[in-house]
Structure 1
Amino acid sequence: MSIDTLQRFLLDELDIRGAVVRLGPLWQRIVAGRNYAPPVAALLGEMCATTLFIADALKQPGRITFQLRGSGPVSLLVVDCDERLNLRAMAHAAADVAPGTAPQLLGDGQLMLSLDLPNLRQPYQSIVPMQGDSIAEIFEHYLGLSEQLPSRLFLAASAEGAAGIFLQKLPNADARDADGWNRVESLATTIRDDELLGLPCDELLTRLFSQEVVRVFPERQVLHECPEDWDKVRTMLRSLGREEVDAVLREHGEVLIRDDLANRDYRFDAAAVEALFGETPPTLH
């Protein structure tokens, strides 16, 4: 398995499906220059791996966005992924965050889902309470509610990479092997963080499920494409109006628009603002 990929697998004789994610250089690009404290980066990396699993399993092409909002030192985690597995992510947190469990870091809060599909007039949204001591447990609870299928997540993240393994019990699993799910769960709990982050997929699955029949599917490349969109920013500023934009310019000497998900700033000085409102905005036909 290459790095920055997702690879599905199926335990054929047990009717249990799963996937493995390993992120390396792509993950490093996501967090570059953000100066996240290690506990914040770990939460965000684990949430990235989890979102990829869920985005890959969507029955229709679309964009899925998860937000974890809480009252703790980590106030917000956002991960966004589309059908191409184009991944973007960001966090809002205090400058100095000590290690702790997810409830200690996030506080009381909610997990919010937004799902944008081509056949929906507006995105589908869902909000559930955060329940669990880790990102894995929070999303296992969510999957239990949304899909009503037992699911397990085993996740790890560091400054260098993020990784995870996903398991889900399909409806016929008990008929195929009454002890199969318990056996697979027990085996998966033995995986160490260094193995998740470092072992190729085939070696990882062999290490875990050497006595099972494992069918591995072609890997999918994970992307991190965040092209500049000056037209969108200009349209947004025009919608605010000249008076409000000029007020910001007078106070700060420039107008700064921050795109946290893309980790990019858009800056407008006085000349750029003058040009912005002097331009004829595009018309819609």
Structure 2
Amino acid sequence: MAHNFVRPFLFEHLDVRGACVHLGDVWQALQARRGYAPPVARLLGEMAAVTALIAANLKQPGRMSFQLQGQGPVRLLVLDCDEQLRLRGMARADAGVAEATVPDLLGHGQLALTLDSVGMRQPYQSLVPLDGDSIAGIFEHYLERSEQLPARLFLMADGSAAAGLFLQKLPDADRRDPDGWRRVQILAETVRAEELGGLTTLQLLGRLFPEEDIRLFDPRPVTYHCPEDWGKVESMLRSLGRDECEAVLREHGEIHIHDEICGHDYRFDAGRVAELFGRDRHV
């Protein structure tokens, strides 16, 4: 099985659905060369896992972005994923962030969702306050408010993997089995981080829910997608205008643009700027 996937499942007789996510080299690529302190990397990895889980439910082409903005030492977490489960993201934090509780790391803030799908006149945006003592708790609160359905999340992230288990109570659950949702939650709460990161979906569900009848669906691959986009950067510079670009060149000797979410650097010297605008100033 691929090391980067979201795999949905359904409790056949309970009207409870779920999914497992595992990010191996995708998670390693997302944090490569960033130098995040361990607490920052852990928060970003857990948020990467839950973003992939939620994006797996996108029904049409589009892009979903989550921004967790806080006033603590971890000021910003950004994860972006499309319907093909192509993931990218970044964190912004103070230097040398030490281990602390999630509320202390994030402080007061908000979770923002932006959804931009084909056919939408403008992107949909939603804001909720940070309510929860973990990334899992924050997103459980978000899901219950946005979908009006109770959900549970169990997440982990270390240097090699980010993974998670998602459970959601569907509308007919109490009619199908009045004790089913409670029972599933109690069993899921026994999960350990090393099991989330180290077991296959089949092994994990078999360990947690040995008495339940579960239907597994095919896994969906997750990829890290953050290519360089010189065309986009050149269009941005053209929109600034030649005079503005040449003023930056005179002051700094080059135009340097750093793409924080992907980690790419774009540099334009005088020759490249001249080529960008053409020899004729009026072109």
Is TM more than 0.5 here?
yes
Aligned residue in 1 for 2:266: 266
Give the AA of the match of 2:122. Q
Aligned residue in 2 for 1:194: 194
Once the two structures are superposed, residues 179-219 of structure 1 have per-residue CA deviations (whole angstroms, 9 ceiling, x without a partner) of 11111101111111111111111000100010000110000
Q: Is the 8 A contact 1:255 1:267 kept in 2?
A: yes
| Residue 279 of structure 1: how far off its partner (Å) | 6.6
The separation in 2 between residues aligned to 1:259 and 1:12, in whole angstroms, is 45
| Residue 102 of structure 1: how far off its partner (Å) | 1.9
Once the two structures are superposed, residues 228-276 of structure 1 have per-residue CA deviations (whole angstroms, 9 ceiling, x without a partner) of 2111100101111223222322333221111222221111122212222
The separation in 1 between residues aligned to 2:221 and 2:42, in whole angstroms, is 22
Aligned residue in 1 for 2:207: 207
Q: Is the 8 A contact 1:7 1:219 kept in 2?
A: yes
Once the two structures are superposed, residues 6-64 of structure 1 have per-residue CA deviations (whole angstroms, 9 ceiling, x without a partner) of 10011111111000001111111111000001111110111111111111112333210
C-alpha change, 1:38 and 1:117, in structure 2 (3 Å) is: same
| Residue 84 of structure 1: how far off its partner (Å) | 0.2
Aligned residue in 1 for 2:151: 151
The separation in 2 between residues aligned to 1:252 and 1:70, in whole angstroms, is 33
The separation in 2 between residues aligned to 1:62 and 1:230, in whole angstroms, is 22
Q: Is the 8 A contact 2:87 2:225 kept in 1?
A: yes
Give the AA of the match of 1:192. R
> Helix, strand or coil: the match of 2:183?
helix
| More moved, 223-232 vs 206-215 | 223-232
| Residue 171 of structure 1: how far off its partner (Å) | 0.5
The separation in 2 between residues aligned to 1:279 and 1:230, in whole angstroms, is 20
The separation in 2 between residues aligned to 1:95 and 1:222, in whole angstroms, is 30
| Residue 78 of structure 1: how far off its partner (Å) | 0.4
C-alpha change, 1:126 and 1:279, in structure 2 (3 Å) is: farther
Q: Which runs of 5+ in 1 are unaligned?
A: none
| Residue 152 of structure 1: how far off its partner (Å) | 0.3
Q: Is the 8 A contact 2:256 2:266 kept in 1?
A: yes
Aligned residue in 1 for 2:256: 256
The separation in 2 between residues aligned to 1:13 and 1:250, in whole angstroms, is 70
The separation in 2 between residues aligned to 1:27 and 1:84, in whole angstroms, is 16
Aligned residue in 2 for 1:75: 75
Aligned residue in 2 for 1:42: 42
The separation in 2 between residues aligned to 1:125 and 1:108, in whole angstroms, is 20
Give the AA of the match of 2:105. L
Aligned residue in 2 for 1:231: 231
Q: How many residues get paired?
A: 282
> Helix, strand or coil: the match of 1:185?
helix
C-alpha change, 1:143 and 1:279, in structure 2 (3 Å) is: farther
TM-score by length of 2: 0.96
C-alpha change, 1:152 and 1:279, in structure 2 (3 Å) is: farther
Q: Is the 8 A contact 1:46 1:135 kept in 2?
A: yes
The separation in 2 between residues aligned to 1:249 and 1:35, in whole angstroms, is 30
The separation in 1 between residues aligned to 2:225 and 2:105, in whole angstroms, is 29
C-alpha change, 1:56 and 1:279, in structure 2 (3 Å) is: farther
Aligned residue in 2 for 1:29: 29
C-alpha change, 1:270 and 1:152, in structure 2 (3 Å) is: same
The separation in 2 between residues aligned to 1:155 and 1:279, in whole angstroms, is 55
The separation in 2 between residues aligned to 1:254 and 1:103, in whole angstroms, is 41
Aligned residue in 2 for 1:101: 101
Aligned residue in 2 for 1:53: 53
Aligned residue in 2 for 1:277: 277
| More moved, 237-246 vs 188-197 | 237-246
Q: Is the 8 A contact 1:2 1:200 kept in 2?
A: no
